[in-house]
């Protein structure tokens, strides 16, 4: 991508079933979309059992690429929508992207 088009990746890991509200909030804050993957957790709050049988908690991992100038606003919307300020609800973090390819629509109007 050209200079001035810095992008961030917001990674959100939450309990299964909460991705739609996270994505809706991030779009309202300016994100264009997201990619969802599924995983499982192994944290200290993940050790639940039913009848002595450990349950492997399912997680949704949301990847959201946003222009750096709206990264904080989108992250705040994600934290609020996912109630991430509460224990055992999930985690979100931001990574600076060195290069983004394939997002041609982000480059329109730039030469």
The domain ranges of the chain are 7-66+90-107
One digit per residue, the tens of pLDDT, for the chain of length 111 reads: 444 468 999 999 998 899 999 999 999 999 998 999 998 766 655 556 666 665 567 899 999 999 999 999 999 999 999 999 998 889 999 999 998 877 655 554 444
Sign of the CA dihedral running 46, 50, 52, 56: negative
The span from the CA of 70 to the CA of 64, in Å, is 12
Sequence length of the chain is 111
pLDDT of 94: 97
Q: Does domain 7-66+90-107 have CATH number 3.30.70.120?
A: yes
pLDDT of 109: 45
């Amino acid at each position: 991508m050209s200079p001035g088009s810095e992008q961030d990746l917001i990674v959100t890991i939450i309990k299964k079933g909460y991705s739609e509200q996270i994505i809706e909030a991030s779009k309202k804050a300016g994100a264009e979309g997201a990619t969802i993957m599924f995983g499982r957790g192994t944290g200290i709050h993940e050790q639940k059992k039913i009848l002595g049988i450990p349950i492997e908690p399912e997680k949704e991992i949301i990847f959201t690429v946003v222009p750096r100038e709206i990264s904080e606003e989108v992250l705040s919307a994600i934290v609020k929508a996912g109630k991430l300020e509460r224990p055992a609800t999930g985690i979100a973090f931001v990574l600076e992207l060195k290069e983004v390819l394939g997002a041609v629509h982000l480059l329109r109007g730039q030469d």
